[in-house]
Amino acid sequence: MPEADAKAELRRSLRARRAGRGEDERARAGEALAGYAAALGPGPIAGFVGVRGEPPTLPLLAALHGRGVRLLLPLLRDDLDLEWAVYDGDAAGLVAGARGVLQPAGDSLGLDGIAEAALVLAPALAVDAAGRRLGQGGGSYDRALARTSAPVIAVVFDDELLESVPVQAHDRAVGGTLTPMGGVRLF
């Protein structure tokens, strides 16, 4: 099976599994992720707000902000590339951007804003032990990660750590994962 087809099939399967997670399970996962905030360093940290079945990251962002960490969140552009903006810790102040992505309403730091980050927390559908990351398929993070030299940790549910993830030449690897039960794992 060609890699693109294998990726599409795996995405369908993982999205279905995520859709089956209950709100209580998701809430527990979000609180568990927040418990690892101290392990993520002083920042600045580029993060994201989990949407559409992704692990809920707002509790983690709140814990990081509470520690005084400077947070950058993505602004999804119409061309699916990512600009970045400072997150002030006010979840109520987030606005829905393209494709329902929650983002700060403040000024953009531009495409290269991610270069300020000392650590990047990236969304993923799955990751394997070699750091191969399966994203949503739009290439947004693959493009953004090319603009930073910071370590990248994918935030996934524990059962999304797989034996193998199909990749293509443009896919960017990650250096570790953050999961609700396993915490931070570096490769």
CATH 1.10.3720.10 fits 3-186, yes or no: no
Percent of all residues in the chain with a pLDDT value above 70, rounded to a whole number: 99
Instruction: Choose the weakest-confidence range: 38-47, 86-95, 162-171, 173-182.
Output: 162-171
Instruction: Choose the weakest-confidence range: 5-9, 33-37, 58-62.
Output: 5-9
Percent of all residues in the chain with a pLDDT value above 90, rounded to a whole number: 81
Contact 33, 57 (CB under 8 A): yes
Domain boundaries of the chain, sorted by first residue: 3-186
Mean pLDDT of 34-39: 97
Mean pLDDT of 95-116: 92
What does the pLDDT read at residue 36? 98
pTM of structure? 0.94
Provide the mean pLDDT of the chain: 93
1 — pLDDT class (breaks 50, 70, 90): low
Q: Helix axis angle, 58-66 relative to 23-34, nearest 10°? A: 20
What does the pLDDT read at residue 169? 80
